[in-house]
Structure 1
Amino acid sequence: MTSFEFPGEYYEIMRRDFRNLAAETEFLASCAPPGSRVLDLGSGTGTNLRRLGELGYSCVGVDQSASFVEYARRAGGEGVEYVHGRAEDFATDRRFDLVYSLFMTLNHLPHDKLRTVLETTRCHLAPEGRLVLEFGHLLNFVESYQQHTVAHHRGDDILITRLARQSVNPHAATWRNEETLLVRDADGQVSLYDNFFDQSVLTGPEVRGLLAEAGFTVTAEYGGFRKEPAPGHGRGPLVIIAAPTPKEAI
């Protein structure tokens, strides 16, 4: 289960503390030329899509958060369309040159939905298209686990204090993240939001196996968006590029 129903402008502030938009944009642009059709599964507030739209891509974003999609639509973006819905429910007759899912969106899917989502994504791709997945794998979770954390995020005279609690369900191989956001706006008003999300614990071999079963061939793996090698010790996120496997090779 996942809940991200708080104002998108606050997510944008927090996102800047975790992500490198320039590196992500350069990476994604290297996977498909300008003018390509792009699908973002788990598009959040549309940060990546707005940047790609500026570069001439035709973009569609899908996200389950009504608040984030509302913010993304208000923020606009040339050639960008937003759909409110879950990745596993998204259906379209259109074909895309690039489909991507970043920032642990894959981990937010239940284990029993992963193969179906990847098979559906295979149908969304053009024959020469590419799929980019960024996900956290086992040691990511083990090493970053903290039962309680407090973090502060600042932007445009807004202060966000994030109080987070993690708990583990070992039988389901999931992490539950429960967060309380205390937000002080520029006018001194304070608001409170409760947020939670579950993340499935994945491993590299598991995802590679699911991709093969869904009709994909892994073409590259990296340890980040600077295309650095995936570290041998297994820590940090894993970024995988995959292509549809030709039918004659299946």
Structure 2
Amino acid sequence: MTGFEFPGQYYEIMRGDFRDLAAETEFLASLAPAGGRVLDLGCGTGTNLRELGARGFSCLGADQSASFIEYARTAGGEGVEYVHDRVETFTCDDRFDLVYSIFMTLNYLPRAELQPVLRKIRGMLRPGGHVVLEFGHLLDFVEGYQQHTVAHHRGDGVLITRLARQSINPHAANWRNEETLLVREIDGQVAMYDNFFDQAVLTGPEVRGLLADVGLTVTVEYGGFRKEYAPGHGRGPLVMVATAEEASSV
């Protein structure tokens, strides 16, 4: 289970501290033809889609957070549309040149939903289309584990203090993150938000196997959107690019 219901402008501030938007944009844009159709599953506040839309791509994003989708729609973006829906239940008759799910979205899915979601993605691809998945792998979780963390994020005169606690269910290979956000606005007003999310601990072989089962073949793997080497150890995500097999019966 996950819960991300707090104002989207705060997510944008925190996201800026975690992500390299320019590298993500270049990476994703290189995998779709000019003016191509792009789908972002777990789009958050639409940060990536706005950048891709500005480059002339036709974009659709889906996210489970009503607050984030509201922010994304208000922020606008040329050629970008949004749907408020969970990745597991999202359906669409359209076909896409690029489907991507990044920033750990894959880890948020219940394990039983992984294969159905990937099969759905396979069915949404146009011939020659690509899938990009970015997820946290086993060693990323192990190396990054801290029972309690405090972090500060600043932007547009806003100060966000994030108090987080991690707990582990080793039998289910699940990490639960419980967070409290303390937000001080530029006028001095303070608000508090509770946020939690569960993450399944995935491995490279597991995801490769799931992709193969639905007729998708991994063509390249990286350790980030600057095309770093995939991490053999230590912290960092895995970024996989997959394409549909030429002849698939799924």
* TM-score, length basis structure 1: 0.98
Residue type at the aligned position of 1:93 = D
Could you list the structure 1 runs, at least 4 aligned residues long, displaced by more than 6 angstroms after superposition. Answer: none
Paired position in structure 2 for 1:126? 126
1:146 aligns with 2:146: yes
Distance of aligned partners of 1:20 and 1:248 in 2 relative to their CA distance in 1, 3 Å threshold: closer
**Structure 1, residues 179-200: CA drift from partner, whole Å, max 9, x if none?**
0000000100000000000000
Paired position in structure 2 for 1:12? 12
1:249: Cα distance to partner?
A: 8.8
SS of 1:35 mapped into structure 2: coil
Distance of aligned partners of 1:210 and 1:70 in 2 relative to their CA distance in 1, 3 Å threshold: same
Matches within 5 A, 1:206-225: 206-225=206-225
1:205 aligns with 2:205: yes
**Structure 1, residues 54-102: CA drift from partner, whole Å, max 9, x if none?**
0000000000000000000000000000000011111111000000001
SS of 1:154 mapped into structure 2: strand
Paired position in structure 1 for 2:189? 189
Q: Which runs of 5+ in 1 are unaligned?
A: none
1:234: Cα distance to partner?
A: 5.7
SS of 2:88 mapped into structure 1: helix
Paired position in structure 2 for 1:80? 80
Q: For residues 88 and 249 of structure 1, what CA distance do their matches in structure 2 show?
A: 22
Q: Which runs of 5+ in 2 are unaligned?
A: none
Distance of aligned partners of 1:218 and 1:224 in 2 relative to their CA distance in 1, 3 Å threshold: same
**Structure 1, residues 41-64: CA drift from partner, whole Å, max 9, x if none?**
000000000000000000000000
Paired position in structure 1 for 2:228? 228
Matches within 5 A, 1:1-250: 1-233=1-233, 235-247=235-247
Q: How many residues align?
A: 250
Distance of aligned partners of 1:26 and 1:166 in 2 relative to their CA distance in 1, 3 Å threshold: same
**Structure 1, residues 163-216: CA drift from partner, whole Å, max 9, x if none?**
000000111111000000000001000000000000000000000000000110
Distance of aligned partners of 1:160 and 1:248 in 2 relative to their CA distance in 1, 3 Å threshold: closer
Residue type at the aligned position of 1:216 = L
Residue type at the aligned position of 1:30 = S
